[in-house]
Amino acid sequence: MLIIPAIDIIDGKCVRLTQGDYAQKTVYNENPLEVAKAFEGAGLQRLHLVDLDGAKAGSVKNQQVLEAIAAGTKLVIDFGGGIKKEEDLKRVFDCGAAFATIGSLAVKNETLFAAWIQKYGADKFLLGADVKEEKIAVAGWLETTDIGIYPFLEKYIGYGLINVFCTDVSKDGKLEGPSIELYQNIIQRFPALQFIASGGVATVDDLHQLNAIGCSGAIVGKAFYEGRITLDELARINQSGNPKSVIH
């Protein structure tokens, strides 16, 4: 299983939220590039970079962080948050992202996202499915829809997307363990997905559980920043080899 550390950005700084609540923000490092270099130095190859300002504003705001990390490391980066227009999408790719993470747009503008998939290729996108009680949440988790996770995934599998990560917002940032049952159900229903778990990881045992149910990857954030899981432990669990061997 691929270990994918997360860096969430507000005002150019590395932060974490609890349950997606912007009022529950902790700043962990003023220099995201420094954090990214530490991940790379430990042997990790992927990075999940989230522009929380962009997610809230509806347009990319922290592309300079992406550009700095892409130039300063060899990490394979997926970048999300505020990608609503094609100019933002192009900027994200131009600044060095290997994958554009699309969440809210996939919910609110299927026609546009489908056109992007056709133009750029399904392998350039990571579909972000944020859920609360198995319903899709959007706008940086500020809004819950009536769309169920399973029909949502089925629709985009139909467009050729297989790279997906799912965050149970009720678990995110709380260090209470991931939503094993939800993720297991998704993997069993859609075995062709390259499925990445996100949210709630608190211990190394959580990562072993996610690996056991068949997750292709796991995003780790707060557990690392709070010292619950060390860099060495992340590196040991991380699969060796090409960082694109999971996310095609």
CATH number at residue 150: 3.20.20.70
- The answer to whether 169 touches 20, Cβ cutoff 8 Å, is yes
Q: Which residues are 134's β-sheet partners?
A: none
- The answer to whether 144 touches 135, Cβ cutoff 8 Å, is yes
Q: Is residue 176 part of a domain?
A: yes
Angle CA(136)–CA(138)–CA(140) in degrees, nearest 5? 135
Q: Which domain holds residue 178?
A: 2-237
Return phi, psi of residue 168, to 5°. Answer: -85, 105
* pLDDT per residue of the chain (248 residues) written in tens, 0 to 9: 999 999 999 999 999 877 677 888 899 999 999 999 999 999 999 999 999 999 889 899 999 999 999 999 999 999 999 999 999 999 999 999 999 999 989 999 999 999 999 999 999 999 999 898 899 987 555 678 999 999 999 999 999 999 999 988 877 666 789 999 999 999 999 999 999 999 889 999 999 999 999 999 999 998 999 999 999 999 999 964 333 434 43
Q: Is residue 246 part of a domain?
A: no
What residues are labeled active site?
A: 8, 130
- The answer to whether 246 touches 210, Cβ cutoff 8 Å, is no
Tell me the CA distances in angstroms from 122 to 28, 104, 127, 160, 202, one per residue in order.
33, 17, 10, 6, 32
- The answer to whether 143 touches 103, Cβ cutoff 8 Å, is no
Q: Is residue 222 part of a domain?
A: yes
Q: Is residue 242 part of a domain?
A: no
The whole-number pLDDT of residue 152 equals 97
User: For the chain, how many structural domains are there in total?
Assistant: 1
pTM (two decimals): 0.91
